[in-house]
């Protein structure tokens, strides 16, 4: 990992960054690059043990301050708890990387509480954090917000319908937020990822063969290299597929997505904490 690439403007995006979903995968990779640029980190995720492991590694390698917060981002009191951990610091960067679906299968067979959790986590959670920290960044006239998306949000995706619908919300939400926030000097970027070899995928039983998935570090580097190229950046491995799904024939797009999702692991587009 290099401190010089991707180039990160610590004066614009520091002195603190909040990374929701920062205990593993893309989130922890982003934390590493931001820390090497001298930006202090607040890591947020549900499980405290991996949070503390990432925090210890960041402190040892970069010397920055690192705070950890074990938090369910779908909980009713999540913003109050996050504010209690961050109101005393100047946050110039927000990453919302939480949001992997922990359930797959036919929608009508999902437990209703899981439907609600996935929708809340992927829509309300990111909207609340973007609203809170975005207002603070606008007041200071600089900062950055990264909302991690998924190719699943670009067409109907059987077996992960709530997740895919929520990721569609995320992309359109990000596009509008990008326009408004650039008036205040704040960058907004929605990153569309696809098959990514993360611990969350392995817990779902999805194991990719060699060279069939992006690595978290690759996605992190691409994200940070495109911070000023919003509102949407699509990882290179998914750009052709993204173009194919951008059709007015939504039945064809959904059938195409369904063939991938139902047929092999390359069609499953999930990420997050």
Catalytic residues: 163
Spatial distance between the Cα atoms of 187 and 143, rounded to a whole number of angstroms: 6
Spatial distance between the Cα atoms of 177 and 134, rounded to a whole number of angstroms: 9
Closest C-alpha among 183, 200, 172, 195 to residue 97: 200
Three-state DSSP state, 197:
coil
Three-state DSSP state, 43:
strand
N-terminal to C-terminal alpha carbon distance within the chain: 22
Length of the chain: 273
The β-bridge relationship of strands 16-20 and 40-45 is parallel
Closest C-alpha among 180, 133, 173, 181 to residue 153: 173
Three-state DSSP state, 8:
coil
Spatial distance between the Cα atoms of 107 and 172, rounded to a whole number of angstroms: 23
Spatial distance between the Cα atoms of 31 and 14, rounded to a whole number of angstroms: 12
DSSP 208: P
User: Six-digit token pair at 7?
Assistant: 């180039």
């Amino acid at each position: 990992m290099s401190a010089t690439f991707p180039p990160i403007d610590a004066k614009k995006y520091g002195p603190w960054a909040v990374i929701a979903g920062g205990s593993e995968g893309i989130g922890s990779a982003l934390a590493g690059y931001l820390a090497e640029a001298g930006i202090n980190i607040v890591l947020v995720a549900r499980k405290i043990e991996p949070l503390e492991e990432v925090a210890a590694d960041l402190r040892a390698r970069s010397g920055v301050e690192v705070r950890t917060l074990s938090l369910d981002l779908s909980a009713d009191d999540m913003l109050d708890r996050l504010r209690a951990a961050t109101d005393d610091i100047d946050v110039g960067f927000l990453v919302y990387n939480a949001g992997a679906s922990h359930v797959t299968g036919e929608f009508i067979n999902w437990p209703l509480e899981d439907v609600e959790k996935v929708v809340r986590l992927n829509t309300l959670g990111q909207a609340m954090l973007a609203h809170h920290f975005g207002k603070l960044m606008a007041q200071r006239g600089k900062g950055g917000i990264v909302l991690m998306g998924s190719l699943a949000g670009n067409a109907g995706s059987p077996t992960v319908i709530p997740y895919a619908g929520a990721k569609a919300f995320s992309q359109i939400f990000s596009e509008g937020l990008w326009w408004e926030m650039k008036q205040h000097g704040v960058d907004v970027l929605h990153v569309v990822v696809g098959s990514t070899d993360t611990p969350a995928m392995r817990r779902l039983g999805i194991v990719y063969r060699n060279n069939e998935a992006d690595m978290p570090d690759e996605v992190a580097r691409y994200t940070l290299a495109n911070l000023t190229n919003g509102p949407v950046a699509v990882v290179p491995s998914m750009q052709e597929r993204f173009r194919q799904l951008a059709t007015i024939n939504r039945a064809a797009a959904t059938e195409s997505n369904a063939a991938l999702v139902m047929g092999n692991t390359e069609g499953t587009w999930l990420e997050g904490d």
